[in-house]
Amino acid sequence: MAETSFSQDQFSCAVCLDLLKDPVAIPCGHSYCMSCITSYWDQEDQKGVYSCPQCRQTFTPRPALNKNIMLAEVVEQLKKTELQAGPEDVESDVCTRRKRKSVKSRQVCLNTFANPIHINSDNNSCMCFCIQMSLKERQRKFQQREKDLELREAVESHKHSAQTAVEDSERIFIELIRSIERSRSEVTQMIRERERAAVSRAEGLMYRLEQEIDDLKRRHAELEQISHIHGHTKFLKSFQSLAVSPESGDEPNITLSSLLSFDDVGKSLYQLKEKLEDFCREEIEKISGRGNAADSSRFTLDPNTVNKHLCLSERNRVVTFTAGVQQYPDHPDRFHYYPQVLCRESVCGRCYWELEWSGSGFVCISVSYIYINRKGRRNELFTGLIAMIAQHD
């Protein structure tokens, strides 16, 4: 029977790159050392998804590991058939792991080399170096796969974070809409209650006025009858009975606008709308600016260079032109004639600037050297690399 030759690489663990120890097979078919695959999957416990280090196939839940008895026996048989360096044999100097028996030794090279699979007995060519390079290449590929896996995990984490942010924003906006709906219902109910109260008050006043009008009409009719009496005595007696006026309170001061005006409610709601819109816009700008915060920086203006017709404010981040002269102390870096000011920070590479500008006139922004002339009437504004002038009406 012809013997079947096995290559050691066929029974090597892709994690430790050594012969399999307590070999186990995972569901995708690849085999690893029990300790290697256990340690590898322990690092994936937090995700709850387990993968094969070679083909990247994922498993959920974590597969159970059982020792492959047949594969373990084959590996043991392979170990026995390998040539191991004995106490009287010369060890291979190039082997980096298990020392194998050397079959050639040269004093010139001071290195010894191993037998198959390290020496091809047909042409006596050394294969140790090739095997080492192959192992290094395999290790490099494995490390590259680990980097790819880390990048893939980072992308998945980023996607998960973005999805979570979207879900949170949707939930918060739904709650905000519900809160606004509740406020709308409360305002509507308040307006209706004020309407009912005003209408009820107006109806009560109208009822009192109608009663007073009826009473006045009755008294007017009686006075008309008395005016036709000719006898003085009878006239006085009849008039005395009508001279006593009915008891009544103060005349109600009724204005239609005080009862039915809701202008104050409309103004308050309009102001609330503007404040809410401004607040939402500011907060959204803050949120959108956080993503680029790591790649941006704020400039501060140098008070030692500011011209006396310029005024700095807000921690030297805002500059305002003034007709009056500011009382700045003398400094060799201060611009003497033109209203100019330099920033403290320097720039390099590729960048752009964002600024807010208000008022009339023109403003010039430039990239300048730090050693430009500060004194006299020479316009040194354009001594830099690039300048931009803008007109504002």
**What type of residue is 34?**
M
pLDDT, residue 105, reads: 43
Whether the pLDDT of residue 6 is over 70: the answer is no
327-336: list long-range contacts, CB under 8 Å, 24+ apart: 328/303, 331/304, 331/305, 332/374, 333/302, 333/304, 333/305, 333/374, 334/304, 334/305, 334/306, 334/307, 334/308, 334/374, 335/305, 335/306, 335/307, 335/374, 336/307, 336/374, 336/375, 336/376
CB 360 within 8 Å of CB 392 = yes
Whether the pLDDT of residue 119 is over 80: the answer is no
CB 262 within 8 Å of CB 191 = yes
The Cα-based distances of 377 to 274, 308, 335, 381 in angstroms read: 48, 15, 10, 11
Query: What does DSSP assign to residue 32?
Result: E
CA atoms within 13 A on the CB side of 123: 3
The H-assigned helical ranges of the chain are: 34-42, 69-81, 128-226, 232-243, 256-260, 263-290
What phi-psi label fits residue 129: left (phi over 0), alpha (psi between -120 and 50 degrees) or beta? alpha
With bands split at pLDDT 50, 70 and 90, how would you rate the model's confidence at 251?
A: low
Q: Is the peptide bond before 117 cis (omega within 30 degrees of 0)?
A: yes
Whether the pLDDT of residue 33 is over 90: the answer is yes
pLDDT, residue 346, reads: 82
pLDDT, residue 161, reads: 86
CB 262 within 8 Å of CB 194 = yes
193/18 Cα distance (integer angstroms): 85
19/5 Cα distance (integer angstroms): 16
For residue 14 the two structure tokens come to 């892709």
pLDDT, residue 319, reads: 92
pLDDT, residue 242, reads: 61
Mean per-residue pLDDT over the chain, rounded: 76
The Cα-based distances of 231 to 23, 219, 272, 304 in angstroms read: 141, 20, 75, 109
CB 271 within 8 Å of CB 278 = no
For residue 123 the two structure tokens come to 């042409």
pLDDT tens digits along 136-158 = 788 888 888 888 888 888 888 88
The H-assigned helical ranges of 227-298 are: 232-243, 256-260, 263-290
* CA angle centred on 29, ends 27 and 31, rounded to 5°: 105
Q: Which uninterrupted H or E stretch holds 52?
A: none
299/385 Cα distance (integer angstroms): 18
Secondary structure class of 220 (helix, strand, coil): helix
pLDDT tens digits along 269-297 = 888 888 888 888 888 877 776 555 556 77
